[in-house]
């Protein structure tokens, strides 16, 4: 794979040598709305001394991947996609010190240096040198692929000792959620200020919403209302800790939650990202309460004036989850099996079948699909 790095074999003779540097690999690209293809692309290589190359063990499709799947303008070259993966470090740059070839790692959905002001305070998504896998800025490629170049590997990757690519499938699934959805649900709950005894309403029965339920439960919420209409999902939500499910939405759903919570929910976790979900949040939040958003907003303007947020001192918070900040906190219960966030995966496809994963999630036939390269 070339570059400035040392290969795993220089450091760990137990690991079999690769047959030779790949010159091409398979990777998922999006060519426009509804048009997902798995194509040949150049193999990733170390470009900077702080890079690592990670061979992907498991990746998956995110609810936010469906946004370009719905709306991307056609492009002849395609755009690399996927931002959640776990895998094995294959090669590292000369300055990488915290991971070594052969390490099993979780890759958070944001690249972060680990040392800037924002990384130090747990806001790795605002890292001054970081970015997202597919934002073009870092020249990185997506995780729904055989391998990925990871910039700023020391700040970004988290090694998980004792785990390998052939570890128990249930555990791998749960580890994979730490790259995004579990940490994102946790972020919603943390930003929402969930503490023991809280009353929380979660809007959205997607993987993030369900893991926001799990997170709220872990943080001690006493009452967790889940707003969702897909029964298989809300059933899982109940297993994760939801005490009530409201299938109605709009004014009817708002009225139902306001009645259940005797006047509104002090904490609302919004895990959808569409404007009606925001409006629903405004409708059900209690005076003085908090709306914590983690669904990527598909709108720029929204009501914030006297009649929506201001009049009753509603706080609006949230954003892209700095999942890197939460992995150490969440990992032990995942490793010992006391939580199983990986239960959000209800289908697994091979890399070549990634297009069917998008179709199934878009049609809500699958909650969340794992991709096995």
Residues at the contact surface with a copy of itself, assessed by CB under 8 A: 118, 121, 123, 125-126, 191, 278, 287-288, 293, 296-297, 299-320, 322
79-80: strand order across its sheet: 35-42, 24-32, 79-80
Q: Which one, 23 or 306, has the nearer CB to a copy of itself? A: 306
DSSP-derived secondary structure letter, 248: -
Shortest Å, Cβ 340 to a copy of itself:
28
Q: Which one, 104 or 278, has the nearer CB to a copy of itself? A: 278
Gap between the Cα atoms of 93 and 45, Å rounded = 10
Structure tokens at 62: 């995110």
Shortest Å, Cβ 312 to a copy of itself:
5
Shortest Å, Cβ 303 to a copy of itself:
5
Q: Which one, 15 or 302, has the nearer CB to a copy of itself? A: 302
Three-class SS state of 176: helix
Choose among 253, 240, 254: nearest CA to 341.
240
Shortest Å, Cβ 66 to a copy of itself:
16
Structure tokens at 312: 């009753």
Cα dihedral 43, 151, 182, 356, rounded to 10, equals -20
Shortest Å, Cβ 72 to a copy of itself:
16
Shortest Å, Cβ 133 to a copy of itself:
15
Q: Which one, 42 or 263, has the nearer CB to a copy of itself? A: 263
Shortest Å, Cβ 287 to a copy of itself:
4
Q: Which one, 89 or 316, has the nearer CB to a copy of itself? A: 316
Q: Which one, 176 or 282, has the nearer CB to a copy of itself? A: 282
Q: Which one, 37 or 120, has the nearer CB to a copy of itself? A: 120
Rounded to the nearest 10 degrees, the angle between the axes of helix 181-192 and helix 207-218 is 50
Q: Which one, 163 or 281, has the nearer CB to a copy of itself? A: 281
Bridge partners of 27, per DSSP, are 39, 145
Structure tokens at 53: 């190359």
Bridge partners of 307, per DSSP, are none
Shortest Å, Cβ 288 to a copy of itself:
4
Residues in the chain: 373
Q: Which one, 28 or 125, has the nearer CB to a copy of itself? A: 125
DSSP-derived secondary structure letter, 109: S
The torsion angles phi and psi of 120, rounded to 5 degrees, stand at -65, -30
3 CB contacts (<8 Å, ≥6 apart)?
A: 45, 46, 47, 51, 91, 93
46 neighbors 165 (Cβ within 8 angstroms): no
371 neighbors 59 (Cβ within 8 angstroms): yes
Distances 253 to 208, 224, 225, 298 between C-alpha atoms, Å:
20, 15, 11, 21
Shortest Å, Cβ 304 to a copy of itself:
5
């Amino acid at each position: 794979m070339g570059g400035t790095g040392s290969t795993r074999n220089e450091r760990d003779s137990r690991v079999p040598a690769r047959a030779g540097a790949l010159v091409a690999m398979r990777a998922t690209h999006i060519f426009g709305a509804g048009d997902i293809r798995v194509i040949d692309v150049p193999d990733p290589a170390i470009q900077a001394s702080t890079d690592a190359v990670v061979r992907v063990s498991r990746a998956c499709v995110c609810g936010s991947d469906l946004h370009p799947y719905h709306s991307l303008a056609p492009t002849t070259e395609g755009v690399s996609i996927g931002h959640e993966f776990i895998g094995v470090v294959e090669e590292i740059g000369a300055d990488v010190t915290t991971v070594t070839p052969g390490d099993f790692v979780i890759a958070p959905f944001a690249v972060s240096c680990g040392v800037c002001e924002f990384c130090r305070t747990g806001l790795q998504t605002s890292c001054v040198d970081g970015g997202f896998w597919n934002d073009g800025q870092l020249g990185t490629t997506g995780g729904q692929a055989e391998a990925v170049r990871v910039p700023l590997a020391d700040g970004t990757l988290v090694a998980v000792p004792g785990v390998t690519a052939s570890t128990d499938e249930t555990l791998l699934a749960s580890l994979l959620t730490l790259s995004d959805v579990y940490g994102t649900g946790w972020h919603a709950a943390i930003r929402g200020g969930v503490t023991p005894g809280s009353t929380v309403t979660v809007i959205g029965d997607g993987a993030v919403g369900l893991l926001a339920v799990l997170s709220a439960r872990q943080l001690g919420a006493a009452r967790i209302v889940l707003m969702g209409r897909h029964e298989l999902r809300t059933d899982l939500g109940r297993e994760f800790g939801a005490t009530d499910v409201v299938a109605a939405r709009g004014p009817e759903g708002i009225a139902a939650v306001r009645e259940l919570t005797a006047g509104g929910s002090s904490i609302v976790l919004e895990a959808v990202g569409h404007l009606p979900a925001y409006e629903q949040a405004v409708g059900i939040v209690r005076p003085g309460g908090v709306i914590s958003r983690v669904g990527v907003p598909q709108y720029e303007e929204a009501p914030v004036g006297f009649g929506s947020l201001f009049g009753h001192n509603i706080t609006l918070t949230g954003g892209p989850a700095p999942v890197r900040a939460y992995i150490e906190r969440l990992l032990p219960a995942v490793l010992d099996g006391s939580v199983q966030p990986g239960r959000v995966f209800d289908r697994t496809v091979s890399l070549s079948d990634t297009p069917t994963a998008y179709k199934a999630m878009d049609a809500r036939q699958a909650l969340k699909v794992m991709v096995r390269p």
